[in-house]
């Protein structure tokens, strides 16, 4: 496979959809992201649906830009707390730290991302092939900037998203192999992450924000699409 799109999929860990020359090339599932990355050694770009770069103060500009772009789907974007909050041992301490650094408390939904967020952050720091994506931002771009009215967990929403992928040449087969038991919305998110990964590889991907912030290591904090 040329590129890999990855989404977190609950207790199963992580699901990846690979593309070769823009078409479906197989699925991968692993309990650890590092394992998935290792198995995709030949991939030029790996796009992961998980916040990666963290800032020291305030909310990430990438998340604010994504919310502004998505309109009705803005609630799919979590505001990600600054780096010091993720170093706290529990939710209350993290929320207090977030309040101190942003003026607002970290939500419990965002805190629930902590194990996978920190796991992905470690992989991102070690591998330049890895880029952050957000599936709703990617689907918004794939739909030509048109808003997606139906949520990804609804019947209509899943049909629309699979059709958009098919229109882009990504035909997901009925039998996926490793990903056969992964929830449908996670498979669709990994597939559109792969679409964005190909755009990154071709130099055609957009970014939010247009002028990204930098994390403490100097890497761009941005959502690609």
pLDDT digits (tens, 9 = 90+) for 79-92: 999 999 999 999 99
**Average pLDDT over all residues of the chain:** 96
- Enter the tokens of residue 147: 């808003």
Mean pLDDT of 54-68: 97
Domain boundaries, the chain: 3-50+126-207, 61-125
Mean pLDDT of 145-155: 93
- DSSP structural state of residue 142: H
- CATH fold for domain 3-50+126-207: Nucleotidyltransferase; domain 5 (3.30.420)
Indicate if the pLDDT at residue 216 is higher than 90. no
Mean pLDDT of 194-202: 98
pLDDT band at 49 (very low <50, low <70, confident <90, very high): very high
Query: Are the C-beta atoms of 27 and 178 separated by less than 8 Å?
Result: yes
* C-alpha–C-alpha distance, residues 94 and 114, integer Å: 10
Torsion angle of alpha carbons 87, 38, 202, 15, nearest 10°? -70
- pTM score, whole prediction: 0.96
Mean pLDDT of 178-197: 98
Mean pLDDT of 198-216: 96
* C-alpha–C-alpha distance, residues 79 and 176, integer Å: 33
């Amino acid at each position: 496979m040329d590129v890999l799109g990855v989404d977190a999929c609950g207790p199963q860990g992580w699901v990846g959809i690979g593309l070769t020359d823009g078409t479906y090339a197989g699925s991968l599932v692993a309990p650890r992201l590092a394992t998935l990355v290792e198995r995709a050694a030949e991939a030029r770009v790996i796009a992961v649906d998980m916040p990666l770069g963290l800032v020291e103060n305030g909310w990430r500009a990438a998340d604010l830009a994504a919310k502004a772009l998505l309109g009705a789907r803005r609630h799919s974007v979590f505001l990600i707390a600054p780096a010091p909050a993720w170093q706290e041992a529990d939710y209350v301490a993290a929320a207090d730290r977030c309040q101190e650094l942003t003026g607002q408390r970290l939500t419990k939904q965002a805190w629930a991302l902590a194990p996978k967020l920190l796991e992905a952050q470690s992989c991102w720091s070690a591998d330049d092939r890895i880029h952050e994506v957000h599936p709703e931002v990617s689907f918004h771009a794939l739909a030509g900037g048109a808003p997606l009215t139906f949520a990804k967990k609804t019947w209509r929403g899943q049909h629309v998203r699979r059709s958009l992928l098919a229109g882009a040449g990504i035909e997901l087969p009925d039998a996926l192999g490793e990903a056969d038991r992964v929830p449908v919305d996670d498979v669709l998110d990994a597939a559109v992450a792969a679409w964005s990964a190909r755009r990154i590889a071709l130099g055609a991907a957009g970014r939010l924000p247009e002028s990204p912030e930098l994390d403490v290591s100097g890497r761009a904090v941005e959502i690609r699409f």
